[in-house]
Amino acid sequence: MRPVRLATTPLVLAGMAACAAALHAAPAAGADAVPGPVAAWRDLRFGMFIHWGPVAIKGTEIGWSRGAQVPADVYDGLYRQFNPEQFDADAWAKAAADAGMKYLVITAKHHDGFCLWPSKVTDYHIGNSPFKRDVLKELAAACKRHGVRFGAYYSICDWHHPDYPLDSPGGRKQKAQSDMPRYVAYLKAQTRELIEGYGPLVTMWFDGEWEQPWTREMGNDLYAYLKRLQPDLTVNNRVSKGRRGMEGVTKDAHLNAGDYDTPEQRVGGFNRARPWETCMTLCNQWAWKPNDGMKSREECLRTLLRTAGGDGNLLFNVGPMPDGRIEPRQVERLREMGAWLAKHGEGVYGTRGGPFKPGRWGAATCKENKVFLFIMKWPEEGPLRLPAIPAKVLAHRTTSGGAASVEQTSEGIAVSLPAADRDPVASVVELTVEGKAFDIPPAAVGAAGASLAAQKPAKASNVYQNSGEFGPEKAVDGDPETRWATDAGTTSAWLEVDLGQPVAIGRVAIDECVDFGPRVRRFEVQVKEEEAWKSVLTGAAIGAGFEKQISPVTARFVRLRVLDASDGPTIREFGVFKP
């Protein structure tokens, strides 16, 4: 079956200029200057993403496997045998609620064009499958019963629709005939059906905007159109053309519509100025795949905490099976997350990221006069040291077990907790501060923060492709997301920092980037005495979050020497601290 063609009208793309008011409705200034509906969506923090459709029969990726692993004609005919008799909307909504998820977004229509509701403008939908039932109607009602907000994913590109110019595999094939204005009319008719038939929606989650047929003008016009239908609707940045790859950050936000950014399969960087949401899979594939690898309980929860600590939301994906059930092992993993959040969710929901930026050490959130520390990696020796803040710590308590010690001085905040009391996911320490916690300026922790090397002049023996993006200053900039990197094949290198004047040093912290596996096999830290370099620390592997106390020494110049590496060493942060 093919989608029903809508008549072309000369006004399909009219009103694009009028969208400017909706596009610029959100205040541009201020870290918290977002509209009320977007702020309310941000407070939810944790949602369930669902990728599902007839493709579950094959166990291949939704949309992308059409015309690739599965011939297009075979893929398009899968709905004729799609009969998920064990689909239970209440079981799905309950799984989300039990996980501590506050909203749910399902693929109402993916790139393959199949609709999980009986759309009036196409016959390629669930109502014409053996199953026949309206999945969206049942799921929206179930979400309401379980206190979960309901949202819809909708793909802008549609490789199945005859009027859309591109075809499978992956939109790389041009159709002989197409009619983009008529397709835009179809798209608007369907999104209107979703809002009026299943709303109010918490969000409309677009995708597929990267393809050439879609323009910024079309996206901005669609955004304004949807806001007229439901003024409190939140819409992601993929409605327009501003998204920058899988990083998901919007470029030229003043020109491109969208209420929040969408980093994909990665935790976004710390950003309080613009709302964002990481979308990530619980397993590896978006749609269901037999025996797919699944993330551990620890990895799942830490991903959520680092996301909230960066001031973002997490939309965590499951792919239900062909029979309509979410895999029991996935349901159990979600239940485990919910059990942990039932104890510690106060530091997740309705909070803002910071004031301590996420890093290998963990993450922090804040609300009113509270700061919630989620400590995931403790130093090998001594307390966790946080940078100084311009607010007095009035009280503290440990909510994850044991009794933490918190000491605040002009140099910073030292947090200790006996090893036996540390939570395997994250030790949770709540600080009560004087004034509003959100007003505390954000600061990095660990090798950054109070490091004597922070922002000091640095030089290196080698820089990856001589690129400023990976220069030596990136290892002392206080940003755990940047790094000093060296050329492939480099097995030894050095990084030197000028501290400006002789200072006393008693501790070293090094955060090696291990995204590509740990590479350093032998290293030393040196200080310059007169014109000679003296070794003050030697070791083998560094890894992420290395920290070591040394015998106090006074020096102006300090150097990290990588003596042996399996490949080009790369360091996120190199810090030295007072004794």
Task: Please spell the DSSP secondary structure of 68-93, one letter per residue.
Answer: TTB-HHHHHTGGGG---TT--HHHHH
pLDDT of residue 9: 39
Percent helix / strand / coil, the chain, rounded to 5: 25, 30, 45
Q: Which residues of 542-578 are buried (b: 16+ CB within 10 A; e: fewer)?
A: bebbbbeebeebebeebbbbbbebeebbbbbbbbbbe
Whether pLDDT at 477 is above 90: no
Q: How many helices (H) and strands (E) does the chain have?
A: 9, 26
Of residues 266 and 121, more confidently modeled:
121
pLDDT of residue 517: 83
Whether pLDDT at 15 is above 50: no
Closest among 386, 295, 429, 333 to 100, alpha carbons compared = 333
Residues 200 and 223 sit within 8 Å (Cβ to Cβ): no
Average pLDDT over residues 309-337: 98
The secondary element (H helix, E strand) that includes residue 432 is: strand 427-433
Whether pLDDT at 166 is above 70: yes
Cα 124 to Cα 161: distance, rounded to the nearest angstrom: 9
Q: Is 410 exposed, middle or buried (0-12, 13-18, 19+ CB in 10 A)?
A: exposed
Q: What size, in residues, is the chain?
A: 579
Closest among 115, 118, 98, 97 to 106, alpha carbons compared = 115
To the nearest whole percent, how much of the chain has pLDDT over 90?
A: 85
Tell me: the pLDDT tens digits for 211-236? 999 999 999 999 999 999 999 999 99
Cα 180 to Cα 185: distance, rounded to the nearest angstrom: 9
Tell me: the pLDDT tens digits for 244-257? 888 899 999 999 99
In angstroms, the first-to-last Cα distance of the chain is: 74
Site of tokens 């669902």:
50
Tell me: the pLDDT tens digits for 33-89? 799 999 999 999 999 999 999 999 999 999 999 999 999 999 999 999 999 999 999
Tell me: the pLDDT tens digits for 511-552? 898 877 899 999 999 999 888 999 999 999 998 878 899 999
Whether pLDDT at 430 is above 50: yes
Average pLDDT, the chain: 92
DSSP secondary-structure letter at 359? B
Which residues neighbour 14 within 8 Å (Cβ) at sequence distance 6 or greater? none
Distance of CA 105 to the CA centre of its chain: 15
To the nearest whole percent, how much of the chain has pLDDT over 70?
A: 94
| Distances 368 to 135, 263, 311, 388 between C-alpha atoms, Å | 40, 28, 15, 19
pTM of the predicted structure, to 2 decimals: 0.81
